[in-house]
Amino acid sequence: MPVISDPAQYNEEELYVDLRASLELPLYLKCEGFNFAGSVKMKAAREMVDAAERDGRLRPGSVLVESSSGNLGVALSVIAASRGHRFLCVTDSRCNLSTIRLMETLGARVHVIDRPDLHGGFLGARLGYVRALCASDERYVWLNQYSNQGNWRAHYRTTAPAIARRFPDLDVLFLGAGTTGTLMGCARWFWNWRRPVRIVAVDTVGSVTFGGPPGHRMIPGLGMSVPPPLLDTSYVDDVVRVEEPDAVRMCRRLAARGFLFGGSTGTVVSGAEEWLERHGRRGVTAVAIAPDLGERYLDTVYRDGWMSDTVESKTLAMARPA
C-alpha cells in the first residue's frame, strides 16, 4: 500500500465492478470514488490547483472560489485543507446537506444559492455570484471548472490510459456529462491514439448540454443549465438522456446487491443499460465510469418519497404569491 502525506496523492485507479453477476449487464464499472474526496472530481481538482499554484495565481492571501453542485467542492475542500488555502464553495439548494457539512468540516466556507437565474437556472445564478465576488475583491481566485483546460487534461493523463491498459479491446465507453471534463479528456485520448472506441455520453433529461429545453433537475452532478464551454461534440458518437426516476431506480438496484453508488453513477449505468439493450449486448466489451459513491445520497436518492416530496415542495413554493 502507498504511504502518502497529501490526501490528493491517493486515488484507486484499478477497481472495476463486473455488473454481469449483479444486474446481468455486460458492463464493467470503473469506480472513481475511492479517494479522500469520494469522487472522480479529485483528479480535476488536483490538476487545476496544481496549475494555479505553478502559475502564481494562487499565492499566500488568496482565497479559492468555485461553483460546484457538491463533489468538486468536496475535492477542493480536501486539497485546500491539506495545503493551507482558504476556500469558498458556491453551491445551490440541490446540494446534499451532508455534502455541505462535509465541506464545512474540512474548513471551507459554503454559500448556498436558493433562487435560480431566470435563463441560466441555478448554475447561472452561481456563476453570476462568483463573477461578482471576483470583481469586488482581487484576493479571490476562481478556477472555473467549466472552462479550465485542466479539467479534461486530468482525465487525458490518468483515467483514459488506465482504462486502455485494463481493456485493450474496449468497444464502448460510457461517460456522464456534467462540465464534460471527464468526457472530453477520455474521448480525446482514445481519438488521438486512434483507438476504435465508441464514446457514449450520458446526460440527464432537463439538461441543455446536447440541446433540448431546460427542465427541473433534482440530482446534483450531471447535466447543465448552460452549455458547457469544454464540450466538443465531434468527439462524441452517441448521447443517451436518462430520466431522474430511472437513475434513482438504478441506484436502488445496485444497492440491493451491496453496491452503494451516487446519483451520477445511477444515471450513467441506467443510460448504459438502455444503450446496450438497443445496440446489442453480445460480444461487446463495455466500460462505464462511476463518478461517485452513495453515502452522501442517503437523505435524497435513497430516501423513500424523496422525489415526490421535492416536486410537491417546489410546486407549493411556485404557487405562493410573491
Q: What is the pLDDT of residues 292-302, one digit of tens each?
A: 999 999 999 99
Cβ atoms of 92 and 117 closer than 8 Å: no
C-alpha cell at 127: 456563476
List phi, psi (to 5°) of 310.
-70, -45
CATH 3.40.50.1100 in the chain is located at: 7-31+158-297, 41-142
pLDDT at 309: 64
Helix (H, G, I), strand (E, B) or coil at 211: coil
pLDDT at site 321: 40
CATH architecture of 41-142: 3-Layer(aba) Sandwich (3.40)
Q: For residue 175, what are the contacts with CB-CB under 8 A and spacing of at least 6?
A: 182, 183, 186, 187, 199, 200, 201, 202, 268, 288, 289
Residue 317's pLDDT is what? 39
Residue type, 142: W
CATH topology for 7-31+158-297 is Rossmann fold (3.40.50)
Per-residue model confidence as pLDDT tens digits over 249-268: 999 999 999 999 999 999 99
CA distances to 7, 71, 73, 88, 195 from 37, in Å: 9, 8, 9, 16, 31
User: Which of 235-239, 285-289, 307-311 shows the lowest mean pLDDT across its residues?
Assistant: 307-311
153 pLDDT more than 50: yes
pLDDT at 314 over 60: no
Q: Percentage of the chain with pLDDT > 70? A: 95
Q: Is the pLDDT of residue 105 over 70?
A: yes
Question: In this predicted structure, what is the pLDDT of residue 310?
Answer: 59
Other CB atoms within 10 Å distance of the CB of residue 59:
12
Give pLDDT tens digits for 77-93.
999 999 999 999 999 98
Choice between 94 and 204, residue whose per-residue pLDDT is larger: 204
Distance CA 79, CA 45 (A): 8
